[in-house]
C-alpha cells in the first residue's frame, strides 16, 4: 500500500523467517523489544520511492564532488589508521596502574618508559596525542621522546 507522496505506509518485519508485523512505520521496535540472543531483524519495504538528491547525489543519482571528497578523506583516514597501528607496534606499550590513594605509575619490563607523540593522530582528529612506550637505553637518544615529569632519565618506573 502506498501512502502520501507515493511512500509505502506498510512495512513487514521478518525475524528468523517469522513475520512479526505488517503495518505502519511507527513503533516497529515494540515488536522486537523482547527478543533475546543475536537476532538481526530484516525490514523489507516494497516500492520505489525516488532518488536522493542533495549535496552528495545529483538529479541523475550520480555522486557529486562533495561525496567524492568525503570518500577520498575516508580512504585517507583508513590509510593513516593502518600506518598508526604499524607505528604503535614498533615499540611495546608501558605497563600502568592507578589508584586514588597512591596515584599512578608507568613501568617497563624491558626498557625505560617514555612519552612518544603520535603525529598521525593530528590528521585523524586534529589533536596531538601521546602514548607511553618502552625504549632500550640505546634508543633513548631519539628525538621526540619525553621523560615523565618527576622521573629520572634511567628510571624503569615513573609516577604519573
Q: What is the pLDDT of residues 11-57, one digit of tens each?
A: 555 555 555 544 444 444 544 555 555 555 566 666 777 777 889 98
Asked if residue 55 lies in contact with residue 45, where contact means CB atoms within 8 angstroms, the answer is: no
pLDDT at 71: 92
Q: Which residues contact residue 24 at a Cβ distance below 8 angstroms, ignoring those fewer than 6 apart?
A: 9, 10, 11
Strand ranges of the sheet holding 95-99, from the earlier edge strand across to the other edge: 95-99, 103-107, 157-159
Cα separation, 92 vs 148, whole angstroms = 17
DSSP tally for the chain: helices H, then strands E? 3, 9
What is the residue-averaged pLDDT of the chain?
77
Give which of 18, 27, 17, 24 is closest to 2, Cα–Cα. 24
Question: Considering the chain, what percentage of its residues have pLDDT values greater than 90?
Answer: 34
Plot region of 107 (φ>0 → left; ψ -120 to 50 → alpha; else → beta): beta
Higher pLDDT among residues 104 and 121, named by residue: 104
CA 67 to chain centre: 20
In the prediction, which pLDDT does 123 show? 65
Amino acid at each position: 500500500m502506498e501512502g502520501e507522496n507515493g511512500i509505502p505506509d506498510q512495512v513487514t518485519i521478518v525475524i528468523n523467517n517469522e513475520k512479526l508485523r505488517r503495518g505502519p512505520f511507527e513503533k516497529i521496535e515494540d515488536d522486537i523489544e523482547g527478543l533475546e540472543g543475536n537476532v538481526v531483524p530484516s525490514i523489507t519495504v516494497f516500492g520505489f520511492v525516488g532518488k536522493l538528491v542533495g549535496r552528495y547525489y545529483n538529479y541523475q543519482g550520480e555522486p557529486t564532488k562533495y561525496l567524492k571528497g568525503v570518500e577520498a578523506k575516508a580512504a585517507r583516514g583508513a590509510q593513516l589508521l593502518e600506518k598508526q597501528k604499524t607505528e604503535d607496534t614498533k615499540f611495546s606499550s608501558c605497563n600502568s596502574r592507578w589508584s586514588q590513594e597512591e596515584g599512578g605509575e608507568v613501568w617497563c619490563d624491558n626498557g625505560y618508559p617514555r612519552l612518544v607523540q603520535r603525529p598521525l593522530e593530528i590528521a585523524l582528529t586534529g589533536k596531538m596525542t601521546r602514548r607511553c612506550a618502552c625504549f632500550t637505553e640505546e634508543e633513548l637518544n631519539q628525538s621526540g621522546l619525553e621523560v615523565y615529569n618527576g622521573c629520572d632519565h634511567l628510571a624503569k618506573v615513573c609516577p604519573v
